[in-house]
Structure 1
Amino acid sequence: METSGVEKRRGVVLVPCPFQGHITPMLQLGWILHSKGFSIHIAHTKFNSPNPSNLPHFTFLPLSDYLDGCDTSFHNLLNVMSVINTNCEAPFQEYMMKMVGEEEVCGQPVACIIYDSIMQFAEAVANRLKLPSIVLRTTTAAYMHSHNVMFQLLAENLVPLPAESQLEAAIPQVYPLRFKDLPLPATIEIPQPVLDFLHSYMDIRSSSAVIWNTMDQLDHWALQQLQQDWPVPFFSIGPFHKMAPAIPTSLLEEESGCLSWLDKQAPNSVIYVSLGSLAIIDEKKLIEMARGIAKSEQPFLWAVRPSLLNGSDAIKSLPEDFMKITQERGMVVQWTPQKKVLAHPAVGGFLTHCGWNSTLESMCEGVPLICMPCFSDQLVNARYLTYVWRVGMELENAGERSIQEAIRTLMVSEEGDAIRQRALHMKREIERSINEGGSSYDSLYRLVEFITSLPGTK
Structure 2
Amino acid sequence: MDTTGSELKPHFVLVPLMAQGHMIPMVDMARLLAEHDATVTFVTTPVNASRIKAIIERIEASQLPIKFLKLQFPCEKVGLPEGYESADLLSGLDQIMKFVDASAMLKESLITCLKEQYHLPVCIIADTNLPWVGDVARELSVPRLAFNGSGAFPNLAMYIIRHRKIFDDVKDDKEIISIPGFPHRLEMTKAKAPLSVYRPGMEQFTEKRLKEERIADGMVVNSFYELESLYVESYSKTTGKKVWTIGPMLLCNKNIHEFSSRGNKASIDEEDCSLWLDSMKPGSVVYVSFGSLAQTTLAQLAEIGFGLEASNKPFVWVIKAGDKFSEVEEWLSNGFEERIKDQGLIIKGWAPQMMILSHPAIGGFLTHCGWNSTLESICTGVPMITWPHFADQFLNEMLVVEILKIGVKIGVEDPNQWATDESKNDNDVMVKRDDVAKAILELMDGGEKMRDRAQELARKGREAMDEGGSSFNNIKDLIKQFGDASKTAVVKP
Common topology (TM > 0.5): yes
Offset, 1:447: 1.2
Offset, 1:208: 2.6
Counterpart check, 1:75 vs 2:92: yes
Q: In 2, are the aligned partners of 1:370 and 1:393 still within 8 Å (CA)?
A: yes
Distance 1:274 1:62, change over 3 A: same
Q: In 2, are the aligned partners of 1:48 and 1:251 still within 8 Å (CA)?
A: no
Alpha-carbon distance in 1 for matches of 2:441, 2:367: 15
| 2:473 equivalent among 442, 445, 451 | 442
| 1:320 equivalent among 334, 341, 347 | 334
Q: In 2, are the aligned partners of 1:7 and 1:37 still within 8 Å (CA)?
A: no
DSSP 3-state at the match of 2:13: strand
Worse-matched range after superposition: 190-199 or 275-284: 190-199
Q: Which runs of 5+ in 2 are unaligned?
A: 413-430
Offset, 1:267: 0.6
Name the counterpart of 1:223.
Answer: 232
Amino acid at match of 1:329: Q
| TM-score relative to the length of structure 1 | 0.87
Alpha-carbon distance in 2 for matches of 1:406, 1:155: 32
Distance 1:367 1:199, change over 3 A: farther
Offset, 1:61: 1.7
Alpha-carbon distance in 1 for matches of 2:365, 2:7: 42
Offset, 1:371: 0.4
DSSP 3-state at the match of 1:227: helix
Offset, 1:424: 1.6
Offset, 1:435: 2.7
Q: In 2, are the aligned partners of 1:212 and 1:236 still within 8 Å (CA)?
A: yes
Offset, 1:197: 3.8
Worse-matched range after superposition: 444-453 or 343-352: 444-453
Worse-matched range after superposition: 256-265 or 339-348: 256-265
DSSP 3-state at the match of 2:408: strand
Identity value in percent: 26
Q: Residues 141-160 of structure 1 correspond to what in structure 2 (within 5 A)?
A: 141-151=152-162, 154=165, 159-160=170-171
Offset, 1:409: 1.4
Counterpart check, 1:133 vs 2:144: yes
Name the counterpart of 2:59.
Answer: 55
Alpha-carbon distance in 1 for matches of 2:72, 2:347: 33
Name the counterpart of 2:74.
Answer: 66
Offset, 1:220: 2.8
Higher RCO structure, 1 or 2 (CA under 8 Å, sep 6+): 2
Offset, 1:454: 2.9
Amino acid at match of 1:14: L
Worse-matched range after superposition: 224-233 or 207-216: 224-233
Alpha-carbon distance in 2 for matches of 1:306, 1:122: 33
| TM-score relative to the length of structure 2 | 0.81
Offset, 1:120: 2.4
1:44-69 deviation line (CA, Å, top 9, x unaligned):
12342332323214322211112254
Alpha-carbon distance in 2 for matches of 1:326, 1:281: 21
Alpha-carbon distance in 2 for matches of 1:140, 1:199: 23
Offset, 1:141: 2.4
Counterpart check, 1:421 vs 2:452: yes
Alpha-carbon distance in 1 for matches of 2:286, 2:203: 38
Q: Which runs of 5+ in 1 are unaligned?
A: none
Worse-matched range after superposition: 448-457 or 354-363: 448-457
Offset, 1:121: 2.5
Distance 1:86 1:110, change over 3 A: closer
Counterpart check, 1:236 vs 2:241: no
Q: Residues 155-166 of structure 1 correspond to what in structure 2 (within 5 A)?
A: 159-161=170-172, 164=174, 166=175
Name the counterpart of 2:23.
Answer: 23
Distance 1:392 1:80, change over 3 A: farther
Name the counterpart of 1:84.
Answer: 102
Distance 1:388 1:235, change over 3 A: same
| 2:185 equivalent among 152, 155, 175 | 175
Aligned residue-pair number: 437
Distance 1:193 1:132, change over 3 A: same
1:336-363 deviation line (CA, Å, top 9, x unaligned):
1111110000111100101111111110
Alpha-carbon distance in 2 for matches of 1:124, 1:440: 29
Counterpart check, 1:201 vs 2:201: no
Alpha-carbon distance in 1 for matches of 2:133, 2:402: 37
Alpha-carbon distance in 2 for matches of 1:6, 1:157: 50
Offset, 1:265: 0.9
1:54-93 deviation line (CA, Å, top 9, x unaligned):
3214322211112254364243463254123322112112
Alpha-carbon distance in 2 for matches of 1:94, 1:316: 51
Q: Residues 395-434 of structure 1 correspond to what in structure 2 (within 5 A)?
A: 395-397=410-412, 398-412=431-445, 414=446, 416-434=447-465
| 1:282 equivalent among 283, 297, 300 | 297
1:353-409 deviation line (CA, Å, top 9, x unaligned):
011111111101110100011110111101111000111111114211100111111
Name the counterpart of 1:32.
Answer: 32
1:131-167 deviation line (CA, Å, top 9, x unaligned):
2322222112222222344347746865122x73x35
Amino acid at match of 2:59: L
Offset, 1:237: 0.8
Q: CA RMSD in A?
A: 2.7
Name the counterpart of 1:350.
Answer: 365
Q: In 2, are the aligned partners of 1:135 and 1:204 still within 8 Å (CA)?
A: yes
Name the counterpart of 2:116.
Answer: 98
Distance 1:286 1:62, change over 3 A: same
Q: In 2, are the aligned partners of 1:18 and 1:47 still within 8 Å (CA)?
A: no
Alpha-carbon distance in 2 for matches of 1:245, 1:268: 21
Amino acid at match of 1:408: L
